Every structure is written in C-alpha cells, then in structure tokens.
Amino acid sequence: MINTSTVQQDILKGEADVAIRAGGRPADPLVARRLCRIESTVYCARTISGATPSNLADFPWVAGDETFAHLDSTKWLHQQSLDANAVLRTNSYVNVLNLVKAGAGLAVQPCYLGDMEPSICRLIPTPPKVWSSDLWLLTRLDLRHVPRIKQLFEAVFEGTRPMVELFEGRAALP
C-alpha cells in the first residue's frame, strides 16, 4: 500500500516500512538515504502585479496549516507576520500551488512544484538557504537487508536522479 498523507506514520512502530520525508538527518535507529536537497522560495501568479520582495506584507498569502509548522519557511512567515495575511490554509503543497495559480495570494512553494508551473513565477529569485531541507528515504534497521526494501531504496534513489536540479532549485526556469 502507498500512503500519500501528510500525517507521518511511525516507522519504528511498524506503521510503515518505508517513508520519504523532508527535514534534517533522521535520528537513529532509522536507516536513511539522502535523496537530495529541497529548496523553496516565494511564488506568485504572473497576473499579480506590483509584488516585490520588499512589499510582501501588502499582499494576501496562501499558507500551510499546522502540519507545515516544523518548516523553516513557515517559521519565517510567522516571524515576518505574513501568516496573518493568509486568506487560506491547507495541508497540501498541491493545494497551495493551485491557489497561487488562481491568484489567491503569494506563497512559499518548493521549487520542484513552483518552477514547473508556467503561470506562476519566483518572487524571491534565489531560494533562501535557511529554508532548504533534505529529502530522505527511511526504513527500520531490521528491514534494511530485506530484498524488496533494498530494491525500493535503489529504484527511488535512481528515479530521483534526473530531478535533483529541479528539487534543488537549479533547473532551467520556464
């Protein structure tokens, strides 16, 4: 079974055999393989005019809900009081993307989503390094040598290689 929920399953309790998670290096006793870095920046619909990095508070925002609270970009939104301008909150980056495309407001998006959508653009061209995190493939120590887990780890790692520049915010922009 594949679960794409934003609710983290407890791998150590057997709620999942494998997980893909963003963040810092996972704690032991998990077995982790780093897939790539994830860069994020502020995006807006191309139809929104006048928005600049210096007047972000003048515009509505689309923000993640409490499931995004651990992210440095969400902490930054709060520190800048920009989350007070949030007209909508969601637990899905895909929802955020669709709302930005519709012109609902500015938003922080991972570059792998924002850079693929021609109707939106980076408002902050260079992703702030303090917002980056790593993407990890995880399993339990006792599963690391199970053939299906080893095959999945290898397939996911190899499958992400062509997308590393996109995830890391270095892909050619549309």
Per-residue pLDDT of 36-67, as tens digits, reads: 999 999 999 999 999 999 999 999 999 989 88
* In-domain check, residue 104: yes
Strand 86-90 and strand 18-23: the pairing is unpaired
Strand 61-64 and strand 86-90: the pairing is parallel
* In-domain check, residue 147: yes
Q: Say whether both 53 and 118 belong to one domain.
A: yes
Model confidence at 120: pLDDT above 90? yes
Task: Work out the pLDDT band at 170, boundaries 50, 70, 90.
Answer: very high
Q: Say whether both 118 and 139 belong to one domain.
A: no
Read off the amino acid at residue 165: E
- Start-to-end Cα distance in the chain: 35
| CB-based burial label for 8 (10 Å; 0-12, 13-18, 19+) | exposed
pLDDT of the residue at 124 = 95
Q: Say whether both 125 and 77 belong to one domain.
A: yes
Q: Say whether both 111 and 59 belong to one domain.
A: yes
- For the stretch 78-118, pLDDT in tens is 999 998 999 999 988 999 999 999 999 999 999 999 999 99
Contact 46, 121 (CB under 8 A): yes
The pTM for the full model equals: 0.86
Q: Long-range contacts made by residues 45-54, C-beta under 8 angstroms, separation at least 24?
A: 45/100, 45/101, 45/102, 45/103, 45/119, 45/120, 46/119, 46/120, 46/121, 47/103, 47/119, 48/103, 48/106, 51/106, 51/123, 52/123, 53/123, 53/124
* In-domain check, residue 11: no
Q: Which residues pair with 122 in a beta bridge?
A: 43
Q: Say whether both 62 and 140 belong to one domain.
A: no
What integer is the mean pLDDT of 7-29? 82
* In-domain check, residue 6: no
pLDDT of the residue at 5 = 60
C-alpha 108/C-alpha 76 separation (Å) is: 10
**Which helix or strand (DSSP H or E) is residue 172 part of?**
none
Domain of residue 155 covers: 18-38+132-167
Contact 30, 16 (CB under 8 A): no
Q: Say whether both 153 and 71 belong to one domain.
A: no
